[in-house]
Amino acid sequence: MSLLPESASFEELVQDYFLAVRGAGLMLSALDTELLTSWAREEVPFEVVARGIARSAEKAMWDARPGEPVLRSLRSCKRTVDAEIKKYRSLSAGVGTEEAPTATRRKSRTWEETRHARLCTALEDVARRDASLAPRVRWLRQTVLAEVPQEPARLDAQEALSLLMMLRAMPRAERVGAWREAQAGMEAQQAMTSRARRLSRRFRVLAVVRRRLGLQES
């Protein structure tokens, strides 16, 4: 999700991602920095927190006025980020353990397996609603989604690639409309670095595709 070097700290990664998704600003407030520090103490992967920020931004971006930041502060993402951390911890705690006795005992799904399964289910729902997209969904299931990545970063990359490939499968008019919708409001981001603008553009494109396809959260 980030274009910072691999040596960047958790705090640097989250700040970079938040400001890019927000679409404005160069640094966090004191209160936001305090919240970021508390998330760092949770010792969860950066992608878990970034996912919460992205979901908060997606919900807010459709109501934001032209020229306004999508998110006003990092604290506005707290509820969603905390929920993602809770889900991650809950699923991670079940790894390697068995569920309550049943006729056939099985191990709990990991966080990565659960996310992968939800994405596959959401895409299958798209295929059922729109037969023209069914071939692309089948191709994704056989290639891009054939395996479950065990690293959060690879899982994010897999989801992003799937959404971009679904965008390419849309009729030309819909593709153009999606790109134009994603570009709306980008004019206010000229003060951002080129790296942050690329990350922000990617977030907006993926959010628009997810919304246009009616995809549930994966």
101: tokens are 């006795």
What are 63-119's pLDDT values in tens digits?
766 667 778 899 999 999 999 999 999 887 765 544 444 444 446 788 889 999 999
> Cα–Cα–Cα angle for 213, 47, 35, nearest 5°?
115
* Entry pTM: 0.81
152: enclosing H helix or E strand: helix 152-169
Q: Where are the domains of the chain?
A: 10-93, 111-212
Q: Beta strands of 115-163 (E only): which ranges?
A: none
- Our measurement of the distance from residue 200's CA atom to the centroid of its chain's CA atoms, rounded to an integer in Å, reads 12
pLDDT of residue 91: 85
List pLDDT tens digits, range 141-168.
Answer: 999 999 999 898 999 999 999 999 999 9
Sheet strands (E) in 25-165? none
